[in-house]
Amino acid sequence: MGYYTNSYVLMFNEIDKTMLPQVGGKGANLGELSKIKEINVPEGFCITTKSYKKTIDKIPELPNLIEQLSHIKVDDRERISKISGQIRSIIEKAKIDDDIANDITSSLTKLGVNDAYAVRSSATAEDLPTASFAGQQDTFLNTIGREAIFKNIKKCWASLFTDRAVTYRIQNGFDHNKVLLSVVIQKMVFPEASGIMFTADPITSDRKVVSIDASFGLGEALVSGLVNADSYKVNNGKIESKKVSAKKLGIYPLKGGGTEENKIELNLQNKEALTDDQILQLEKIGRKIGAYFGKPQDIEWCLYENKFYIVQSRPITTLYPLPDVKDGKNHVYMSFGHQQMMTDAMKPLGISFFQFAEALLVPIGGRLYMDVTHDLASSSGRAMVGLAMGKVDPLMDKAIKKLMKRKDYIKTLPKGKKFLSMGSGYFSWALIAQTIKTYRKNDPSIVKHVIAKNEENVKDVQQKISKLSGDELLAFIKNEYANLNKTLYDAESMGTVWAGAILGSTMLNRKIKKWLGQKDIVDSLTQSVDNNITGEMGLDLLDVSDVVRKYPDVMKYLEHAKDETFFTELVKLKGGDEVSNSIKAYLEKYGMRCSGEIDITRPRWNEEPTAIVPLILSNIKNFEPGAHEVIFKKGLSEFEAKKKDILDRLAKLPGGKNKVKKAEKAISIVRNYIGYREYPKYAMVSIYWVLKQAMMKEAVKLEENGVIKDKNDIFYLSFEELQEAARTQKLDYDIITKRKEEFKSYEKLTPPRIILSDGEIISGEYDNEKMPKGALAGIPASRGTIEGRARVVLKLEDATMEEGDILVTTFTDPSWTPVFVSIKGLVAEVGGAATHGSVVAREYGLPAVVGVDNATKLIKDGQRIRVNGTDGYVEILS
């Protein structure tokens, strides 16, 4: 089997997984299910996509209507609904050709023309390993008689154009013309109980646990959310937990066809839908099906006369991929992306760069994870992990502590080289000594010295790399990146960061809390500090905006400017030269930045200058000219006022003179050094830009020689594969095609903070007693409370803000800083008190709550919200 078929109808036993283009995902899976021994699948057949195509190709109005759909944006619901409705109406009235109708009738005769059938849609982009379109098209249960079946077949075809299906395709980039529909005709089973079984726990991703939901009657009640089902968790033949729900409603067949909702008898409502024996029998069936398909499955089942029937099985697309474990032992992986404020999927080239510098960084699901197995196997290592993660991501810290309570599991962890050990590059005695030395010196010239040293290093790399090409160039890039951490994160540089951001801040907070009872005073004293390259980036863009605002023609042009012709078209306009020079000067200093900048493959502002256009236009809309100086002076004034208030209050205490002297020194240390905290990452991405430019020249050569189709194809290779392709001028292009598909699937996944080697996800939970009922818990990142309109922004280029808006996003890295000048508060899904968004929010005086799980899904764009940055929660007000 597996060949392309010209048939209009195929029986289940004629179908296998290679026939998805003809029978869709549901049909292909049913064909495979019917081949598994001892698995009961109700008989049936599929009306192939050829039948659908032949029918709609004879409808002259359709091509134009479908073409109109392809140009509609996802938020234009009214037009989607109108055009989709027209398409459905036309398809439902279409005539099915005689040759198709005859094949359908013949198949029905084989099975029983007067029997009851489920008529179900099966799209070619449904129930796939990388995307689930489940529920996007329609199903018609208990269909009796040839006429009713034919009517529902056309309704299924038409349901390819329901509003939800069209919207889903637009969101996921599927061409409306390329998604075809098969129709499954399957004999009905009228069960006593039915439900869904996941062969891996869909919440924890634990592959050892089978999760079963069960209720009385047809499974449609459960799938549609009509009823609370019983929930059973089974682990290797042992029922771990049961939750029995009150099952008040069920869906039952009508005698003449169709279904109806009925109240379940009172004495059955709280009865378990399945016996223990049946639960364990179902687990065995699930394991058998999972083993056959080779991956965890989402299975629809029903129970009739004590026999289980399987009516569908599809891959669970939301499970995070398993780590690739080499030694067969238990391992614990901690998200590197949450630590770096970048949880997006990374392309293979970006991942392989990081692995040069750290072998214990492991790619899982397109993200990097730290293998902290050996750290957690020892008490000193556990303390180091807690120290590292406490302020960076408290939810990760809570997840680790939760795992630590599983002492039997911790005992199984093998010992070996630690990720965060003293001397590993992240911690060292030299760093501690340098931090204390820098703290005691309290000399602002140290910051200028380490900045100059970094700038000299970037120039040195530029000079060396300009003379290289081919093998020599790529070898240099690999070596330079492998040594990057040693260069940028040496003891002198990181000692400066620690002296201000860690030791200085901790000491100042501790003193003021002890003397005045005031918590986290540093938050109020770090506005408008010197040498903060990231803070300056937002303010400097205000100066660019002031140049742009003088020229209306330029402002109009920027609204539709293209990256390829950005400057060449700009200089043709009145004021274009001045604006061009201003933007180029800004990019000279900051153009190596971008959202998700730790991934070297991400396009930099130098490559896509239109990325900063929304920020410029927002600045013009929200600020008066000269806002840079106004904002900086305001921050400085607020700092001075706060400092005076603290010192005046201290002076009135016993021993006040001495306390004032100590406080002044502590404030001085923090302000002298804390601005440098953002610089090492800036230096890192400056080196990235130099390396990337050189690497892209090699990519252009590969493209010119026909080795790759596009220069950006190199992003889907590991660095070693790139080196080999450049050396041999040969490449199996299927590698790139496969990796692009993998990357698309990874992009849709939400990376866990902690994942175990068997795929189980460990999550941390907040315990916030001060939080009002219904509020969303998070981490207090910057003090204060603010109310305003939520602007849910997932991509920086979509960040068009208005005065008073509160930014709600997944994460913020330094590239987001220019947005901060326009907002009044921040809510982020990722982060802790010491991460980028929190630091910048404090500097700009913005209330902020970070680490709010699923904030971008739970908060809707435009809702009014209240952000409490002091206690760490968000309230949805409207």
Residue numbers annotated as active site: 836
Which of helix, strand or coil describes residue 302? strand
> Within 10 Å of residue 561's Cβ, how many Cβ atoms?
17
- With the C-alpha atoms ordered 499, 500, 502, 503, is the resulting torsion angle positive or negative? positive
Specify the pairing of strand 805-809 against strand 785-792: parallel
Question: Alpha carbon 844 to chain centroid distance?
Answer: 27
Kindly give the residue spans of alpha helices, DSSP state H, lying in 498-564.
505-516, 522-525, 533-548, 552-558
In 3D space, the residue among 184, 170, 9, 181 whose CA is nearest the CA of residue 97 turns out to be 9
Q: Which residues contact 343 (CB under 8 A, 6 or more apart)?
A: 335, 337, 367, 750, 751, 810, 811, 829, 830
How far apart (Å, rounded) are the C-alpha atoms in residues 296 and 274? 22
Q: Which residues contact 687 (CB under 8 A, 6 or more apart)?
A: 457, 458, 461, 480, 484, 488
How far apart (Å, rounded) are the C-alpha atoms in residues 341 and 86? 45
C-alpha distances in Å from residue 91, one per residue of 154, 442, 469: 7, 77, 60
Element spanning 822, H or E: none
Kindly give the residue spans of alpha helices, DSSP state H, lying in 194-251.
220-223
Which residue has tokens 């009214």? 78
Q: Identify whether the C-beta of residue 118 lies closer than 8 Å to the C-beta of residue 149.
A: no
How far apart (Å, rounded) are the C-alpha atoms in residues 554 and 551? 5
Identify any residues that bridge with 197 across adjacent strands, giving them in sequence order. 212, 299
Q: Identify whether the C-beta of residue 778 lies closer than 8 Å to the C-beta of residue 857.
A: no
Own/partner long-range contacts of 450-456 (Cβ < 8 Å, ≥24 apart):
450/492, 450/493, 450/496, 450/676, 450/679, 451/531, 451/676, 451/679, 453/492, 453/493, 454/488, 454/493, 454/679, 454/680, 454/683, 454/686, 455/683
